[in-house]
Amino acid sequence: MKEIKQTKKYIIPPLGFGTWKLNGNICKESVERAIKYGYRHIDTADVYENHKEVGAAIRKSEIKRKDIFLTTKVWRDDLSKKNVINSGKRFIEELQTNYIDLLLIHWPNDSIQIEDTLDGFMQLKADGIINFIGVSNFTINHLKKVIETKIPITTNQVEFHPSLYQKKLLDFCSKNNIILTAYCPIAQGEDLLIPEVQNIAKKYNKLPSQIILNWIINKGIIAIPRSSNPHHIKENLESLELNLSPKDFDIIDNIGGNNRIVNPPFSEFNY
């Protein structure tokens, strides 16, 4: 699998496995299957209520813990320094692991000082509970506040797919050495129906899902599609084995739209 270097020693597999809405046995079996097929990057969150199943699947696999990149997220109500520290400690218990590779602020919360939150993250890092710090659903203005703290963040995980091509945010992240991670990379299935994507898929004899994931990953973005369907899990991984022409990249770049799927009432996208 192609890799994204975070530090000289640390690499993040660009195709991860999303686990939102996967619970109980379906979650455990799907994560086990994903690891068996070759995924080495798993994305979860406290609010997905599946830490136990994700942790059990990783433990059951024959892959060494150090060879799996594990991301989880602290919910927006738990962003005080104290709650961040307590959350990190609880998460490693639930995930049955000694450390988390990447811990994210799941959503910004303007009622809690970012400095206080990041202090908690730095403490978890100093204690060896997490390796990297990241954010999710942050706008450029949120990111500017983080950059002012001088605390380096690894990624901003945001909704990103052909019908929500967030180019300005991507360019800002690239300039500031922040990797973008694309959630809902296939727009929960909606973008598979875009005629331009379908035409390109036919041309390469590939699936629309594979065209979209390849378009994302070749931009240096991490994609974390979720599936509980064994065929889809495998197909998504195979999206890496494809070379789209620059012209086809352009066609997808120009699809346009502002099709935001995840927009809860507490979001701060207008900040």
* Annotated catalytic residue 48: yes
Residue 179 Cβ vs ligand NAP, minimum distance, rounded to whole Å: 14
Residue 185 Cβ vs ligand NAP, minimum distance, rounded to whole Å: 5
Positions 94 through 133 that interact with ligand NAP (CB under 6 A)? 106
Counting residues that bind ligand NAP (by CB under 6 A) gives 27
Residue 73 Cβ vs ligand NAP, minimum distance, rounded to whole Å: 6
Give the C-alpha separation, 230 to 245, whole Å.
29
Tell me which of 37, 39, 48, 271 is the catalytic residue. Answer: 48
Nearer residue to ligand NAP within complex by CB, 8 or 258:
258
Give the C-alpha separation, 35 to 233, whole Å.
10
Nearer residue to ligand NAP within complex by CB, 31 or 124:
31
From residue 198 to residue 227, the character string flagging contacts with ligand NAP as x (rule: CB under 6 A) and all else as - is -----------x--------------xxxx
Q: How many CA atoms lie within 13 A of 82 on its CB side?
A: 0
From residue 40 to residue 79, the character string flagging contacts with ligand NAP as x (rule: CB under 6 A) and all else as - is ---x------------------------------------
Q: Is residue 103 a contact partner of residue 151, using CB atoms and an 8 Å limit?
A: no
188 lies in the binding site for ligand NAP (CB under 6 A):
yes
Residue 164 Cβ vs ligand NAP, minimum distance, rounded to whole Å: 11
Applying CB under 6 A, the residues found at the interface with ligand NAP are: 18-20, 43, 106, 136-137, 157, 183-189, 192, 209, 224-229, 232, 235-236, 262
